[in-house]
Amino acid sequence: MSPPISPSKERAGDAPIGTRRERGPGDSYERCKSCGSTRLFRDESTADLVCQECGLVNREGEAVVQEPLGHSDDASRYGPGTHGRATTVLLPDKGLRTRIGPLTRGNVPSPLSHRRKMEFARLRLVDRRQGRGDSGERNLETALPQLKRLTEALGLPRTVEETAVRLYRESLARRGMRGLRIASLVAACVYVACRVHGVPRTLRVVASHSEAPRSVIATVSIHLIRDLKVKVRPVNPLDLLPKLAEDLEFPRELRAKVREYLERLDKGGYQSSGVMPATLLGTVAYVAAQEGGWRYSQDRIAKALGVTSVSLRNRVPSVVAFLRLPAPGARPGSRAPPAGGAAPPQPQASGPLPLVDVPG
C-alpha cells in the first residue's frame, strides 16, 4: 500500500492521478464515515471510494467524468464541450461539412466595417457554391426539403421520414429512377415508407399533398418495392378505420361493430383479392351503419375514403351474404338473400284500387 499523502500535498495538486481523487481549489475534503480519516482513494477497477485506514467503502461505483478533448467553435450553438452536431441522413451532406456561418455578435468580438461584411458575404456565397459536390448531392439539396415538407403535411413521425430518405438515397445511388421528376420519386418514397412502418396513409392522401399525379406515384412505388427489395406488409382495412371514424365522427358503438365485421371477414376467409382496402372498409362501414340505424350514405363514406360510391354498391351484396346479415334498408326480421343469387320477388298487392277524392 502506498504511503499516505498529507492534506498539504493534496491542496498543492501533487497527488498522482488514478490513486486519489483530484480536487479543485474550492472543493471540500471528505472524511470517512467510520473513522473520520481523510485518507480516501478511488479503486480504478470498481470506481469505489475506499478509506485507507479502516477499508470502508464510502461511495460505491462513483462515475469518473472525463473532460472532452477539445471544444468546437460552435459551442454556443450546440452546447459546451461538443464537437458539432450529430450526423443525420436528413441533410444532404449528413451534417459532416463545415460551412461559413452568418456573422453574429457571438462570433465577432468587435463591429466590422461595411467592406469587411461584404467580404464575408462573398466568402459565404463561394463556400456554399463550391460545397455542393456532385450532381447527386445537388439532387439531394432539392429533394430533401420537399420530402420534409411532405412528411410534415402528412403528420408522419421521424422514423418514417428517415426511412423515406434512405429509400431516396438508395434509389439515387442505383440510378434506376433516372428521368423521373423529383416530386414523383419523393412522394413514392414517402408512400413506401408508410407501408414499411404500417402508418395508415393511402395513396390518395399522399398524392393530394404532392405535385405528382396519383398514377405516377403508384407506378414508381411498385418499381421501388421491386428494385430495392423492400419488405412491405399489405394494407389492413383496420388501419384505415381510425381516420375514417375521426373524419365522419362515428359513435363508439359503430366503430366496434365495423371492427367486429372486419375481423369476421378476415377470420372467415373472405375473398378480398383485387379489392382495395378502402373499398372494403367503406362497404363494411355502410352495412354496419344501415344495420344499426345510423344515417351514413354511400356517397359520404366513399368521399371520405377517396373511392367511388359505385365500388361500395357493387361490394355490398357479397359482404352482406358472407356475414349473413339483412340487406341494407330491409325490414327487421328479414333474411339475407342467398350467396350468389338474387333476392326472391316480392308478391304484388291484389284487390281493387282505393278511391281517391279529386278536388273539383
Question: What pLDDT score does 213 carry?
Answer: 92
Q: Does 296 or 110 have the greater pLDDT score?
A: 296
Residues near 170 by beta carbon (within 8 Å), at least 6 away in sequence? 228
Band (307; pLDDT cuts 50, 70, 90): confident
Question: What pLDDT score does 345 carry?
Answer: 45
Q: Does 163 or 25 have the greater pLDDT score?
A: 163
> Where do the domains of the chain lie, and which CATH numbers do they carry?
1-66 (no CATH), 135-227 (1.10.472.10), 237-323 (1.10.472.10)
Residues near 123 by beta carbon (within 8 Å), at least 6 away in sequence? 100
Strand residue runs (E) in the chain: 40-43, 48-51, 57-59
Q: What DSSP state is assigned to residue 67?
A: P
- Please give the Cα distance from 225 to 173 (Å, whole number): 15
- Give the pTM: 0.57
Q: Does 97 or 49 have the greater pLDDT score?
A: 49
Question: What pLDDT score does 83 carry?
Answer: 54
Q: What DSSP state is assigned to residue 58?
A: E
Report the chain's mean pLDDT, rounded to a whole number.
75
Band (220; pLDDT cuts 50, 70, 90): very high
Report angle CA 78, 82, 84 to the nearest 5 degrees: 60
Residues near 162 by beta carbon (within 8 Å), at least 6 away in sequence? 89, 90
Q: What DSSP line would sit under 234-273, residue for residue?
A: PPPHHHHHHHHHHHHT--HHHHHHHHHHHHHHHHHT---T
CB 217 within 8 A of CB 184: yes
Please name the residue that has the C-alpha cell 461595411: 114
- Which CA distances in Å does 131 have to 138, 149, 169, 355? 10, 24, 19, 93
162-194 pLDDT, tens digit per residue, is 999 999 988 888 877 777 889 999 999 999 999
Mean of the pLDDT values across residues 214-228?
91
Q: Is the pLDDT of residue 150 over 90?
A: yes
Band (24; pLDDT cuts 50, 70, 90): very low
- Helix (H) / strand (E) element for 158: namely helix 158-174
Percent of the chain with pLDDT over 90: 24
Q: Is the pLDDT of residue 70 over 60?
A: no
Question: What pLDDT score does 7 carry?
Answer: 44
